[in-house]
Amino acid sequence: MKFLKYILFLSFFSFVFFSCEEENPEVDPKPVFYDLESELPFYFGKNYEIPEDNPMTVQGVELGRMLFYEKKLSGNNTQACASCHQQKNAFSDSNRFSEGIDGIEGKRNSMSIANLLWNQKFFWDGRANSLEEQALIPIQDPIEMHQSLDEVVAKLQSSDIYPSKFKAAFESEIITAENIAKAIAQFERTLISSNSKYDLYLKGEYDLTPQEQLGLDLFFTHPVPQAGLRGGNCGDCHTNVLTSGDLNEFDGFHNNGLDEDNSMQDKGLCNVTEKDFDQAKFKAPTLRNIALTAPYMHDGRFNSLEEVLDHYDLHIKKSTTLDPLIREASNELTLPEDPIKLFLTNEEKAAIKAFLHLLTDDQFINDPRFSDPFK
Amino acid sequence: MNKYISGLIIFSVLLFSSCEKDNNEPGETGSLKLIISNLNGGVPLELNDKEYTNEMGNKYTVAEFKFYLSNLKLRNKSNGKFYIEPESYHLVRRLPDTHLFELTIENVDIGEFDELEFAVGVDNSKNYSLDNVGDLDPTNNMAWDWNSGYKFLLLEGQFLPKNEEQKGLVFHIGSDANYRKILLPSTSENIIIKESQATTINLEVEVSEIFKDPTTIDFKENNVVMFDAISNKVADNYAKNMFSLSGISK
């Protein structure tokens, strides 16, 4: 009798216990939760969102990595996402403009892919609202990978490896463009760069040299000459420790004084919003790994960090939509019609450059989790 | 045996209830919804497109406007009862699509209150800390850096002077000395928080008050205000008249 009671107790207990779980007996294993959050440094903050309809899974990330390096995504099987987003360049490339499969050059410089978790708008002109939306655009672009989504899906569906990989990640062997985008987005969300010397400094594990300290201070300071405060004015747009743009709507898009009103070649954000006040505004990208991502600007017009610093210091062009924080930045008191100059010293520019080099993350560009899985 | 069975029942009830979501006991609380209207000249503040004129006749546009509303309290001056919101740091902004910004505060003690208190800014205890409490997150683009704390109020746009080329309009107000408390007594109606109900307060934010009363700001002299002494006067301006209660409803 006592034994019976014990059994009764146990069976009741197990009934109650298992009723908590979802009923799903004897089907293929479910995708396993990928714990991205535990990899993120606390100082990056929590202003990010992983879409509810695309939760991170181990299998999804694995598939996404394969697709990122998969040349079948292009019309003639010669290019993958990774062709223009190479790990050694922090997932950008070293060309001013990249060539698509038909040998045609694009009009904008390939962007680095790092810490995109803290972004809501993608591309230089912000035309994609999510990584999922972004991922499918270059595939279809006639001057990039030049292939219809139907063709991509058909190619992957007929391959030996992909149907089972999609089944593992999304519980269906039927491949869809939506799931291709989701997998690539999942992989891209894992591309976290947080092991630079600057990160070590933030964690208290690295002491800045005096030059690096000066560079950091200048980077994050808007100059206020009447208060004796010298600044390089970088952090106004490349904000906080992520050194990336404001992530609220289009607040992270700026006209940074590259051209005058009548010489603007590329309307940038204005193409997307169709508002005149967005003329020639472009996304302020993260400066993480900036020393590895030359050339610079949306059109890759500058080849070196020195040229970039000289631009902001000496060559800002006035225009209607020029960012107010750039227009109103100088280390000397100026008169209204004066040209816009920061008046940085050579020593200060060298210090800012030294700080920018602290943002290089060797672990990121060598991380085997991010490399070509087919090699 | 009876004892055994009752033990079993209690045990299983415990297990069962653990399957459910945590039941938030309604208890003695309700919620408070602040509907914040960002205005300029009594009408909805518009971004970028609209030209405004300040007291000095300076023409300007606004591209961005946001501020920290923090340390919210409700008080009843007649009986001394009060409610303090814990970890109260809210970033209010003029959104791209609407001049209205909604803020809901849950678990507010029930009762009748006749004064709303909050601050514009971030108090000293959190201004230099790395705690991401409430909306205090460096990626909100309100942190200067860790040494200088947060911007309390930010207004950016363009100043369009007569017969001169346009200039930037940049007001970044921060630093401990510019932390301002705002007290708004309820006028016609008291703020009554009822159990499990939402009480709505309409709060108006009149942006033009940043630039006047008591100190009239001339953009020709001050189109960029950051760490200057005048930032103190700007904080006095907005603390005086920028906020008003325009209605309480249940």
pLDDT, one tens digit per residue, over A226-252 is: 888 999 999 999 999 999 999 899 999
Mean pLDDT of chain B: 88
Tens-place pLDDT, residues A294-341:
999 999 999 999 999 999 999 999 999 999 999 999 999 988 789 999
A261 contact B CB<8A: no
Are the C-beta atoms of residues B196 and B172 closer than 8 Å to each other?
no
Chain B neighbors of A41, CB-CB under 8 A: none
Give the A window 196-235 contacts with B, CB below 8 Å: 220-222, 224, 226-227, 229, 235
In a domain, B17, yes or no: no
B193 part of a folded domain:
yes
Residue A118 in tokens = 């803290």
Q: How many CB atoms lie within 10 A of CB B52?
A: 18
Residue of B228 and A81 predicted with greater confidence = A81
Inter-chain Cβ pairs, chain A and chain B, closer than 8 A: 103
A4, pLDDT greater than 70: no
How far does A340 lie from chain B, in Å, by closest CA? Answer: 11
Q: Which of residues 103-122 of A touch B (CB under 8 A)?
A: 118
State which amino acid sits at residue A91. Answer: F
Please report the pLDDT score of residue B134 as a whole number. Answer: 86
CB contact under 8 A, B11 and A325: no
Cβ <8 Å between B138 and A43: yes
- Cβ contact, residue pair A246, B8, below 8 Å: no
Residue A345 has pLDDT above 60, yes or no: yes
CA gap A195, A148 in Å, rounded: 38
ipTM: 0.81
The verdict on residue B22 lying in a domain is no
Please report which confidence band the pLDDT of residue B15 belongs to, taking 50, 70 and 90 as the band edges: very low
Residue B10 belongs to some domain of the structure: no
pLDDT-derived band of residue B146, with 50, 70 and 90 as boundaries?
Answer: low
Which of B4, B8, B143 is facing A240, going by the closest CB pair?
B143
CA distance B241 to B224: 22
Burial classification of residue A116, based on how many CB atoms lie within 10 Å of its CB (0-12 exposed, 13-18 middle, 19 or more buried)? buried
On whether residue B57 sits in a domain, the answer given is: yes
Query: Distance, in angstroms, between B200 CA and closest chain A CA?
Result: 26
**CA B122 to CA A246: how far, in whole Å?**
20
How much is the average pLDDT of B117-127?
A: 94
Classify residue B27 as left (phi > 0), alpha (psi -120 to 50) or beta. Answer: left
A324 to B169: CB separation less than 8 angstroms, yes or no: yes
Q: Is residue B122 part of a domain?
A: yes
DSSP character at residue A322: B
Residue A243 to chain B, least CA–CA distance (Å): 9
Q: Is residue B18 part of a domain?
A: no
B window 94-153, beta carbon within 8 A of A: 95-96, 130, 132, 137-141, 143-145
Q: How far apart are CA B122 and CA B69, in angstroms?
A: 8
Domains in chain A and their CATH numbers?
37-192 (1.10.760.10), 197-364 (1.10.760.10)
The answer, for A310 touching chain B at a CB cutoff of 8 Å, is: no
Q: Nearest-CA distance from B129 to chain A in Å? A: 11
Contact B139 A250 (CB under 8 A): no
B192-215 pLDDT, tens digit per residue, is 999 999 999 999 999 999 999 999
Task: Tell me what pLDDT residue A18 has.
Answer: 46
Percent of chain A with pLDDT over 90: 87
A242, A215 contact by CB (below 8 A) = no
Q: Which residues of B touch A337 (CB under 8 A)?
A: 164-165
Question: How does DSSP assign A244-284, residue by residue?
Answer: B---STTTTEEB-SSS-GGG----BTHHHH--GGGTTBEE-
Q: What is the pLDDT of residues A168-191, one digit of tens each?
A: 999 999 999 999 999 999 999 999
- Residue A84: pLDDT above 90? yes
Q: Name which of A12, A16, A337 is nearest B165 (Cβ-Cβ).
A: A337
Confidence of residue B132 (pLDDT cuts 50, 70, 90): confident
Confirm whether B2 is domain-assigned. Answer: no
Domain that holds residue B187: 27-249
Domain count across chain B: 1
A334-344 residue pLDDT tens? 887 899 999 99
> What mean pLDDT do residues B25-43 have?
89
